Structure 1
């Protein structure tokens, strides 16, 4: 699974906190949207291009078994830091 998270105004310490709470197969990467766009060009992942706007962090989860727990960690993080606007972009 690949999911975009809007990370406007997040501090490095908050992103590190989120990374540390994710399951083993999950990675959170902050990347420039232009670089992401180039890496997905002409692939089956091109549909996420519409989500690559603004400030994003990209959540990659390899194991189907850990998708639900990775999403729960993200939701808990939003509640803990009161980040109602920092939601999934896609």
Structure 2
């Protein structure tokens, strides 16, 4: 399972969506980054609609101008003390 974590402006908790396959996670990561780059270059505000493969029925819509950062994580089977997040 792969997690795409999106940090939003003025929001303490990031938005998480999950993908089962690495290729699908990479595609989503690249899509979010492209929307973010487009906003930075043109100032155009668009809405990015996301769904989650882990929690069926979970839908999120994000205004691209509010995205601060995005990261992709692979859930490993090893137990660690740190969870997903930008701050460690």
Same fold (TM over 0.5): no
- How high is the TM-score relative to the length of structure 1? 0.40
Larger radius of gyration: 2
Please report the TM-score for the alignment, with normalisation by the length of structure 2: 0.41
Structure 1 or 2: larger helix share?
A: 1
Which has the higher relative contact order, 1 or 2, with Cα contacts under 8 A spaced 6 or more apart? 1
